[in-house]
Amino acid sequence: MNTPPTPPSAPYPLAIIGAGALGLSFATRLARTGRVAVIARSAERAQALLQGIEVGGTLRHFDVFGADQAPQADWVIVLVKTGDTTEAALTAAAMAPKGVLSLQNGLVEDLLRAACPGLSVGQGVTTEGAYRDDSDRVHPSGAGETLLPAGFEAVAELLVGAGFTARVVADIVPVRLAKLLVNAAINPLAALFRVTNGELLSAPHRVLLDALIAEAWPVLHAHGLALDEATAHARVHAVASATAANRASMLQDVLAGRPTEIDAITGVLFSMADAAGMEVPTHRAVHTLVRTVADARLSPAHRRAGLRP
Ligand SMILES: NC(=O)C1=CN([C@@H]2O[C@H](COP(=O)(O)OP(=O)(O)OC[C@H]3O[C@@H](n4cnc5c(N)ncnc54)[C@H](OP(=O)(O)O)[C@@H]3O)[C@@H](O)[C@H]2O)C=CC1
Ligand SMILES: CC(C)(CO)C(=O)C(=O)O
């Protein structure tokens, strides 16, 4: 049995909270150029990961810790599913970092801020991809681009040093809203119809895809989305086309009986619509449907944990 790493006296330059698909893909690449701590949900999970886990077809070993034993780190990247954000952010705050960066989907910055008072927090966007299979193997599924908010230049430097395409953008808000639009349009429909992203571009799904984009656009535009309506449609179609063979993450979550990220995506859109005095009835219907479908498939473990889909 491998023994847990002894927390070093000097903080780790970087830690990743979330030993899942994206967290371990990032950690694998980052570990080639520097020390990275990986924080798993529990000591038991950390112990299991110390035996090694296959990432991209190769058995990898990480400096992995349970959340209760998390070491100090200069910078922390949060890569848990959105329903676990607050717990992960509390762990991050205890690591005494210079800053906490989320690269999750949905909008979670308010949750991070609430859990990390006085710390520099921010949410960026990544189009890196990865998935976990039924045997707990991680498959990186395509390199993308990672955009970070101002204040996280040091993290961008570490990412670039490890071979990522990454940069800080002056205004991250429109970038996050464009990603939210994509996820609010594609993910719930893929989960409901159980189709690949590409299939959403054809009948009978296309009409609903376009209805979700048309409803979300004025809300997101009122909050700072920089795309005009035609470009917003084109953006979502382009992502569906570029990821045509993919099963969207919400579909994967439903099929695996895991909680979905519907509240951090469509649920956040509701708050934004309310604030702007706008209606999003199709999104409300889709939200109810995803909740119902996901609830019915929730695994016993997640049901016991009291997590909501
Ligand atoms: N995968 C992808 O291609 C992309 C994912 N994203 C976003 O990145 C985020 C992570 O996604 P992904 O990696 O796919 O998700 P996964 O479900 O594969 O991984 C999340 C990991 O976080 C762990 N976790 C949960 N709570 C905690 C906690 N409190 N402390 C430490 N670890 C915890 C989970 O543990 P356990 O297994 O025990 O639940 C799991 O291993 C999501 O918001 C997703 O939308 C964004 C772009 C692309
Ligand atoms: C871009 C897209 C839709 C790719 O599948 C995604 O972000 C997801 O599945 O969560």
Q: Please check whether residue 150 is in contact with residue 128, taking contact to mean a CB–CB distance below 8 angstroms.
A: no
Residues facing 121 on adjacent strands:
100
| Other Cβ atoms within 10 Å of 96 Cβ, number | 13
Q: Which atom of ligand 1 is nearest to the CA of 108?
A: 43
Whether 264 lines ligand 2, by a CB cut-off of 6 Å, is no
What is the predicted pLDDT for the residue at 1? 53
Whether 126 lines ligand 2, by a CB cut-off of 6 Å, is no
Question: Residue 246 CA: which ligand is closest?
Answer: 2
Q: Enumerate domains of the chain plus CATH numbers.
A: 12-168 (3.40.50.720), 173-304 (1.10.1040.10)
Whether 105 lines ligand 2, by a CB cut-off of 6 Å, is yes
What is the predicted pLDDT for the residue at 9? 72
Q: Per-residue pLDDT for the chain (309 aa), expressed as one digit of tens each? A: 566 666 567 899 999 999 999 999 999 999 999 999 999 999 999 999 999 999 999 999 999 999 999 999 999 999 999 999 999 999 999 999 999 999 999 999 999 999 999 999 999 999 998 989 889 999 998 789 999 999 999 999 999 999 999 999 999 999 999 999 999 999 999 999 999 999 999 999 999 999 999 999 999 999 999 999 999 999 999 999 999 999 999 999 999 999 999 999 999 999 999 999 999 999 999 999 999 999 888 877 777 776 544
What is the predicted pLDDT for the residue at 25? 97
Q: Please check whether residue 246 is in contact with residue 142, taking contact to mean a CB–CB distance below 8 angstroms.
A: no
Nearest residue (CA) to ligand 2, atom 5: 248
Pocket of ligand 1 (CB under 6 A): 17-23, 39-41, 45, 67, 79-82, 84, 87-88, 91, 104-105, 126, 129-132, 249, 261
| Other Cβ atoms within 10 Å of 168 Cβ, number | 18
Q: Using alpha carbons only, what angle is made at residue 79 by residues 217 and 252, rounded to the nearest 5 degrees?
A: 70
- Backbone phi, then psi, for 31, in 5-degree steps? -70, -15
What is the predicted pLDDT for the residue at 309? 44
